[in-house]
Amino acid sequence: MPDITLTTLVLLCLAAAAAGWIDAVVGGGGLLLLPALLLGLPHVPAAHVLGTNKAVAIVGTTGAAVTYVRRAPVQVGTAVRIGLTALAGSMTGAFFAAGLSSDVLRPVIMVVLLGVAAFVLARPSFGTAAAGDGTDRKVTRARLVTAIVLVGGGIGFYDGLFGPGTGTFLVLALTAVLHLDLVTASATAKIVNVCTNAGALAMFAYQGTVLWQLAALMAVFNLAGGMFGARMALRKGSGFVRGVLLVVVFSLVAKLGFDQWTG
């Protein structure tokens, strides 16, 4: 366990719970969890922050995935095929992430945060479409191969290298490529995301860059948030969370920007 104050530890656990909730509903829990770890552990090497982030995230993502599979229509076979490619991509990305520093990571995360915020603002209906939209469209073999190679491999590599926003990117890509409705895309994305987290975590664990004690504590809160968020998404949809996500994104951009400027 790193040398941190009790207040910081409590705030990190709360951030883990909130990240699990957001990730389960609209994806992108890493947009909160990873910056929170960077802010809470300013003197810890970036590789250890990334590794700890994966150890926490995989627990909540798994809980959300199980909840979705039980209650929502999920194309498990498609998700597994994309997930296996994503696992290989995330392991590759995690291998290259070992050489990153926090000074490089912060501006990259800020750009990703602003990109996601711009998309959500430009698409007011994002995350609010009713389940079933587009499910009658036939998925061609070409689209399936595109999903496996580009969605799985590309986003998997990104998840291992950086991570924040992966769930959101997966939902967007699966909706665009496979014509899934947002609820099905979110459920499918959770299965794929479990694979990317597993691949990246395996590499980080091999390199010894995981703070296991801190991760175990935060994972409990992330799991609770993820399972609660999945149930809420299935019951109420994602309209309210869209507003929360925007508030969180802009707040974190402001804080990271201030730290980068003053640093």
Say if CB 53 and CB 30 are below 8 A apart: yes
Alpha carbon of residue 133 to chain centroid: 24
Q: List the pLDDT tens digit at each of the 263 positions of the chain.
A: 777 889 999 999 999 999 898 888 777 787 788 889 988 998 888 889 989 999 999 999 999 888 888 887 777 888 888 999 988 998 898 888 766 666 776 787 778 778 877 877 887 766 555 444 444 455 677 888 888 888 889 988 988 887 767 777 888 788 778 877 777 888 888 888 888 888 889 889 999 999 999 999 999 999 999 999 888 877 776 566 667 667 767 877 777 777 777 76
Say if CB 50 and CB 26 are below 8 A apart: no
- Burial (0-12, 13-18, 19+ Cβ within 10 Å), 244: middle
- Using CA atoms, how far apart are residues 52 and 71, in angstroms rounded to an integer? 30
Which structure tokens are listed for 68?
A: 């979705």
Closest CA to 97 of 202, 203, 219, 213: 203
Say if CB 139 and CB 178 are below 8 A apart: yes
Residue with tokens 């290298």: 161
Q: Which one-letter amino acid corresponds to residue 161?
A: L
